[in-house]
């Protein structure tokens, strides 16, 4: 007695039945609502992630920008802004997805899984919630960058900014999906550091945030073209600056949009699948 | 009162990784409005059974119906029929009490008006109305437990599963949770299945008790009937020198009026065991203990060169062995005797002790409790204790390995 193996079973207890159940709008909505509430209450997290992006804009944009000056016809700050927004989106959404680990750790996952709703509804609510909260963060960054003078105020910018919001949702949906997939496979927080070092930072650095892809050596260019965030940042540049990298040609925005839609669809699919299979 | 069975379990079995029979072909029925308690040690299969009934785990074989819905064929209907209060907390600490209930109500698609009204009702029931809008992370343990119970009831389930409802709570809070459970059962006629390893909890709350051990049902009856099985009295002997217990035992075994002798594991030996488990957990991966556990007996414990000396000593001590006759008795100072007409036999027992020069520290007489019943039906006396302890360690080890540390405890 007192050895605690049943506690272990309960904690590690495989909750494994896969249910064939219809999607429930109500269930998706309630999980989304929870994400929004939790996001709104974690003020420290919102502030610190925004401050981080602000430092990038202020220090690199103004500091390094003063040294580099203009290139490709635009200010370095303007060049940098979409990329920093992309960074905010990336980190916000991956962590939001990975938070399924916390739900498991703190037991709330069981409350969701024993309810008469499908896992797919739960995971879609989770992904939608992560996409919306990370995009809210992106919008705030966009406004901050705008106030710093990163974008030329024209009537076209209004339309561009509105489309940018749609683009943000698309980018974040893909990366929350990635986060959920990772969170469903990883078992604990200790892998967080690895995740940041080997997944998130490379995705960020290779997305063409700091330097245009044209100046990179050919092998690096190839690697960058495999970074989904590269296309996200491209599309944000099209929206907010009216042009993208020459490498993708005059219809670069269309290519970027296609890649992003594909990435989001695949990652949401993989995330939902791994989540449904995960053991609690 | 007419009895309709609301849960029917047929040969339910769960085998983990083709090896561990966590639940081994159990069958029973539960009547509507009944409080049934699963009593068993950790690892007996209580939670696994509940998880299968709650459709969270798929049985390896066998099936069950809950509220006439089959757990395999109609999991959704089963889920709507049950409320499940898990052993580990499952509240969202970043939400308020009310929001936790609201989340639950929406998940079970309760309409807005119904939801609001029931949330108020439930908050009232568990006396949390005035704290409803505080974040759950500010709640005490008892309040969280009450909120979880309220949440489990929000969708008006016919059956409520309570997994160790009072684990780790102080006696006062435990008492108040018991009262809540009883009131629910009486006022709302909710069938309740709870798991516990507190015998007093099972005794106090349950209409019937199902004793489960190593995945099998070893007894199922009302608390009174279970206790009545042990006709006679329990005489507890505490020895000054535990080693001397060995001397008096054969003499006691000769007496035909002593129907059963069991060694009561003392807190001390219990502490040793759990300490050992801690150490083994800490070492897994570093030394080769995992690999040698399955076939372990006292022989290769002493021979196990890979194990640190400290662990080897502890293992040997708690398992006993040819050169250390003290064995488990080394940790325990108490013998329980099931005796006909115990009061009159005490003088005789004391004489016996004197004659064999064993010093008794105390002699106690009491009517059989569920603890004694448990001891008697699971057959945990000195002879089996060694084996069953090692068996438990082995199972524990295997379960951990089988799960591959996928989720941290």
Q: What is the pLDDT of residues A142-190, one digit of tens each?
A: 999 999 888 988 888 999 999 999 999 999 999 999 999 999 988 777 7
Measured between CA atoms, the residue of chain B closest to residue A37 is B95
Q: Inter-chain contact A4–B46, Cβ cutoff 8 Å? A: no
- At residue A18, the 3 state secondary structure works out as coil
Are A150 and B114 in contact by the 8 Å Cβ rule? The answer is: no
Cβ count within 10 A of residue B176: 17
User: In chain A, which among 78-107 make CB contacts under 8 A with chain B?
Assistant: 104-107
Are A63 and A92 in contact by the 8 Å Cβ rule? The answer is: no
Alpha helices in B163-244 (DSSP H): 171-188, 199-205, 223-229
Q: What is the mean pLDDT of residues B268-285?
A: 42
Per-residue confidence (pLDDT) for residue B301, from 0 to 100:
35
Interface test with A, best of B60, B78, B93, B109 (most A CBs within 10 A): B109
Segments making up each domain of chain B, as ranges: 5-227, 228-403
Q: Inter-chain contact B51–A15, Cβ cutoff 8 Å? A: yes
Chain A neighbors of B16, CB-CB under 8 A = 14
Residue A207 pLDDT > 90:
yes
Q: What is the mean pLDDT of residues A198-212?
A: 91
B66 forms bridges with which residues in the sheet? B7, B69
B69 forms bridges with which residues in the sheet? B66
ipTM above 0.90, yes or no: no
d(CA A140, CA A145): 9
Residue B315 pLDDT > 50:
no
Higher confidence at residue B41 or residue A37? A37
Q: How many domains is chain A built from? A: 1
Spatial CA neighbour of A248 closest among A261, A263, A259: A259
Per-residue confidence (pLDDT) for residue B394, from 0 to 100:
53
- What kind of architecture, by CATH, is found in domain B5-227? 3-Layer(aba) Sandwich (3.40)
d(CA A216, CA A244): 16
Chain A neighbors of B109, CB-CB under 8 A = 24, 26
Q: What is the pLDDT of residues A117-151, one digit of tens each?
A: 888 999 999 999 999 999 999 999 999 999 988 89
Per-residue confidence (pLDDT) for residue A37, from 0 to 100:
93
Minimal CA separation from B92 to chain A, in Å: 6
Q: What is the pLDDT of residues B124-175, one digit of tens each?
A: 888 899 999 999 999 998 899 899 989 998 998 999 999 988 887 788 888 8
Q: Residue A148: inside a domain, yes or no? A: yes
Alpha helices in B206-358 (DSSP H): 223-229, 245-254, 267-283, 289-292, 298-303, 309-319, 342-355
Range of the structural domain that residue A223 is part of: 22-277
Higher confidence at residue B25 or residue B284? B25
Q: What is the pLDDT of residues B66-109, one digit of tens each?
A: 999 999 998 888 998 999 999 888 999 999 999 999 999 999 98
Are B341 and B232 in contact by the 8 Å Cβ rule? The answer is: yes
Q: Inter-chain contact A7–B87, Cβ cutoff 8 Å? A: yes
- CA-based Rg of chain A, rounded to a whole angstrom? 20
Q: What is the pLDDT of residues B47-69, one digit of tens each?
A: 999 999 999 888 999 999 999 99
DSSP B284: B
Q: Residue A219: inside a domain, yes or no? A: yes
Q: Residue A11: inside a domain, yes or no? A: no
d(CA A54, CA A48): 10
A259: enclosing H helix or E strand: helix A252-277
Per-residue confidence (pLDDT) for residue A193, from 0 to 100:
81
Are B59 and B11 in contact by the 8 Å Cβ rule? The answer is: no
Chain A neighbors of B265, CB-CB under 8 A = 1
């Amino acid at each position: 007695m007192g050895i605690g193996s049943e506690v272990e079973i309960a904690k590690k207890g495989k909750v494994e039945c896969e249910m064939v159940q219809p999607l429930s709008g109500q269930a998706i909505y309630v999980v989304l609502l929870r994400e929004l509430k939790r996001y709104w209450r974690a003020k420290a997290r919102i502030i610190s992630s925004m401050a981080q992006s602000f430092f990038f804009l202020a220090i690199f944009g103004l500091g390094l920008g003063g040294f580099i000056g203009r290139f490709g016809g635009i200010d370095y700050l303007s060049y940098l802004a979409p990329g920093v927004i992309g960074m905010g989106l990336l980190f916000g959404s991956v962590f939001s997805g990975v938070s399924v680990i916390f739900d498991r750790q703190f037991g709330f996952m069981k409350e969701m899984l024993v309810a008469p709703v499908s896992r797919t509804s739960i995971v879609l609510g989770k992904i939608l919630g992560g996409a919306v909260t990370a995009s809210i963060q992106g919008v705030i960054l966009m406004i901050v960058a705008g106030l710093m003078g990163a974008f030329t105020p024209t009537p076209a910018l209004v339309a561009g900014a509105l489309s940018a919001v749609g683009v943000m949702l698309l980018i974040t949906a893909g990366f929350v999906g990635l986060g959920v997939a990772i969170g469903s496979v990883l078992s604990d927080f200790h892998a967080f550091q690895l995740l940041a070092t080997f997944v998130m930072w490379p995705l960020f650095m290779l997305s063409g945030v700091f330097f245009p892809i044209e100046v990179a050596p050919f092998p690096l260019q190839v690697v960058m073209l495999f970074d989904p965030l590269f296309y996200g940042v491209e599309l944000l540049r099209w929206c907010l600056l009216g042009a993208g990298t020459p490498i993708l040609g005059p219809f670069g925005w269309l290519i970027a949009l296609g890649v992003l839609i594909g990435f989001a669809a695949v990652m949401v699919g993989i995330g939902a699948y791994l989540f449904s299979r995960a053991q609690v | 009162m007419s009895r309709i069975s609301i849960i029917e379990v047929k040969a339910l079995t769960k085998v983990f990784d083709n090896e561990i029979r966590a639940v081994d072909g159990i069958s029973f029925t539960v009547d509507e409005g009944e409080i049934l308690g699963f009593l068993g040690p950790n690892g007996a299969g209580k939670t696994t059974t509940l998880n299968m009934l709650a459709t969270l785990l798929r049985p390896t074989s066998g099936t069950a119906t809950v509220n006439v819905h089959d757990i395999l064929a109609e999991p959704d209907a089963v889920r709507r029929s049950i409320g499940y209060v898990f052993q580990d907390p499952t509240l969202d600490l970043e939400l308020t009490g009310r929001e936790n209930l609201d989340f639950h109500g929406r998940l079970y698609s309760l309409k807005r008006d119904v939801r609001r009204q029931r949330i108020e009702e439930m908050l009232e029931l568990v006396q949390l109305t005035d704290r409803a809008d505080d974040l759950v992370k500010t709640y005490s343990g008892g309040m969280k437990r009450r909120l979880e119970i309220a949440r489990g009831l929000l969708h008006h389930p016919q059956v409520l599963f309570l997994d160790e409802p009072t684990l780790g709570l102080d006696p006062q809070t435990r008492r108040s949770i018991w009262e809540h459970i009883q009131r629910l059962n009486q006022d709302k006629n909710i069938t309740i299945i709870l798991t516990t390893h507190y015998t007093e909890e099972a005794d106090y709350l349950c209409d019937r008790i199902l004793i489960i051990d190593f995945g099998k049902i070893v007894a199922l009856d009302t608390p009174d009937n279970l206790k009545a099985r042990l006709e006679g009295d329990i005489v507890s002997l505490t020895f000054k020198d535990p080693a001397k217990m060995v001397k008096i035992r054969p003499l006691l075994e000769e007496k035909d009026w002593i129907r059963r002798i069991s060694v009561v594991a003392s807190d001390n030996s219990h502490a040793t065991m759990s300490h050992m488990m801690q150490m083994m957990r800490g070492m897994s991966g570093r030394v080769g203990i995992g690999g040698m556990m399955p076939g372990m007996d006292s022989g290769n414990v002493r021979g196990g060169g890979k194990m640190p000396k400290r662990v080897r000593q502890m293992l040997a001590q708690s398992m006993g062995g040819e050169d250390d006759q003290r064995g488990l008795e080394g940790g325990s100072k108490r013998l329980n005797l099931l005796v006909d007409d115990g009061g009159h036999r005490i003088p005789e027992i004391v004489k016996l002790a004197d004659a064999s020069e064993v010093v008794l520290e105390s002699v106690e007489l009491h009517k059989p409790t569920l603890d004694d019943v448990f001891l008697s039906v699971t057959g945990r006396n000195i002879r089996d204790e060694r084996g069953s302890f090692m068996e438990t360690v082995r199972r524990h080890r295997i379960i951990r390995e089988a799960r591959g540390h996928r989720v941290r405890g």
